[in-house]
Amino acid sequence: MSNKSSDTLFQLIKSLDKAEKRNLKLFVKRSHSSESMKSIQLFDALDKMNDYDEKILLKKVPSVSKQQLSNTKALLYKQILGSLRSLKVYTNIDIQLREMQDYARILYNKGLYMQALKILDKVKDIAKTYNQYTYIQQALFFEKKIEALYITRSLQNRADILSGEADEVNTLLRNTSRLSNLNLQLYSWFIQHGHARNENDLKSIKLFFENNLPENAAHLTGFYEKIYYYQSYAWYAFIRLDFLMYYRYSQKWVDEFENHPEMIEAETAMYIKGMHNLMSAHFDLMNRDKLAECITRFKNFAKGSKVQNNENNRLITYQYLYTAVINLHFLEGTFNKGIKMVPFLEEMLLQYEKYLDRHRVMVFYYKIACLYFGSGNNSKAIDYLNRIIHQKDDLRTDLQSYSRLLHLIAHYELGNYNLLEYLIKSVYRYMAKMENISKVEEAMLKFLKNSLNFNTKTIKPEFEKLLHQLKKYQGNRLESRAFAYLDVISWLESKIYGLNVQDVIRQKYLKDKGKKG
């Protein structure tokens, strides 16, 4: 039975490029065993398949019986990983450190203790340069083992020195662990719920944050301690819709990496994530020029070897780059230009579907829907919103709520009034169930319900009343959530002035640009 996404070996083979495939065959052919030859035949068959199908596979590789298949696949999987590890392109700092530790173990097993200690000293020096303190901890543990079993006479007061180093590293790792736990838990809260919905959310997240933040966190100096501290504050601020604080800590996050450029090499994905959050912060604060500047920097970074030579880095870079460029189109009111990106986005979503998490896909669908809605193509907006609504997922209940609200407005724009009454009840029930309804959303739903009684002459004053009512909430942090997800102000203005949403936003952008100029 065909199942493209479930077989791990098939997924791994499909991720290989030509150079990696060539290296694998050279790697395996060093062993002339019959099992190795079978694994190569299995590789060739899997490489040519578009979808994994065990029955077809067994026919293509008659030398491997059904009973042997599991073991041959396991061998091939191990051979591929060994081959990839041997390539210099995969010499990440952590792989180098593990390799050095392996050499120290081999020397230790040979009884060459002084040589083993010399390599462990190198491990610690390199690990300190790249802030890889878990490797220092492992090296120290090994050093203490050697010193406790053998009199090496390597250094006087060795025991005191090793004990002091171990205590220092353990304290640093303990702080880093606490802060990384806090960061992960805040991120998990956001993925589940989105932004704070009410005063109870604000109070509970504040209490959780303060109870789990180490007392001395602001004074810690280790690279990872500071990075996780900045990340935790960035998520805390983002959840609470404090976009100015979110920007400040996202900037600190990026600055810390750029002050230690060697760490961009060691933790490229974490730097990429920092740039994504910085660009998102500029979007949330409507800093169009700063966002454009960051996008240019990020595009240049994406061309470098740190991204191009690493599939994971390349994938997340392009996800975040597409997101940032769409956000720039939103700020500039160039929705039609943004729509031209959709085929590339669809291609990316299809090509990398097995690597993309559901949350990221959902965000892309919502942003594409907003592009079509802003350009006036409500039917296409509904198509993408349906992809979110029909997922029946428990992630990002806030995003799901706004997908339903935008879906309702798009049907209103299309004049599908026979659906409105049902949709309004459905959206209200969903948002009430999720405790996700704000004053802005309640006013919107009430207006749409009453709109069924308005005619073309009476509707415009009603739009103006609603616009006046909603503008009062723009300074309210909890209510600003509605404006962050859906530019309802521009939509109302488009109805009043008889324009598309993108034209209203474009006029605002050009007017603001003229003032700055």
Whether the pLDDT of residue 439 is over 50: the answer is: yes
Helices then strands, each counted (H, E), the chain: 28, 0
User: Across residues 469-495, what is the average pLDDT?
Assistant: 85
- Residue 2: what pLDDT? 38
User: Across residues 88-110, what is the average pLDDT?
Assistant: 86
Q: Which two tokens stand for residue 16?
A: 């290989």
- C-alpha angle 493/496/501, rounded to 5°? 40
- Residue 334: what pLDDT? 95
The predicted-structure confidence for 228-271, as pLDDT tens digits, reads as follows 999 999 999 999 999 999 999 999 999 999 999 999 999 999 99
Residue 338 has phi, psi (to 5 degrees) of -65, -35
User: Across residues 123-134, what is the average pLDDT?
Assistant: 95
Whether the pLDDT of residue 289 is over 50: the answer is: yes
- Let me know how long the chain is: 517
CA separation for the pair 93, 96 (Å, rounded): 5
The contacts of residue 355 (CB under 8 Å, 6+ apart) are 315
User: Across residues 276-302, what is the average pLDDT?
Assistant: 96
- Residue 221: what pLDDT? 92
CA separation for the pair 274, 269 (Å, rounded): 9
| Residue among 435, 132, 93 nearest 265 (CA) | 93
CA separation for the pair 90, 19 (Å, rounded): 13
Least confident of 200-204, 393-397, 491-495: 393-397
- Residue 154: what pLDDT? 54
- Residue 135: what pLDDT? 95
- Residue 116: what pLDDT? 93
The predicted-structure confidence for 35-84, as pLDDT tens digits, reads as follows 778 888 999 999 999 889 999 999 999 999 999 999 999 999 999 998 88
Question: Distances in Å between the alpha carbon of 373 and those of 326, 368, 483?
Answer: 13, 9, 15
Whether the pLDDT of residue 142 is over 80: the answer is: yes
DSSP 3-state helix, strand, coil percentages of the chain (rounded to 5)? 80, 0, 20
User: Across residues 290-296, what is the average pLDDT?
Assistant: 97
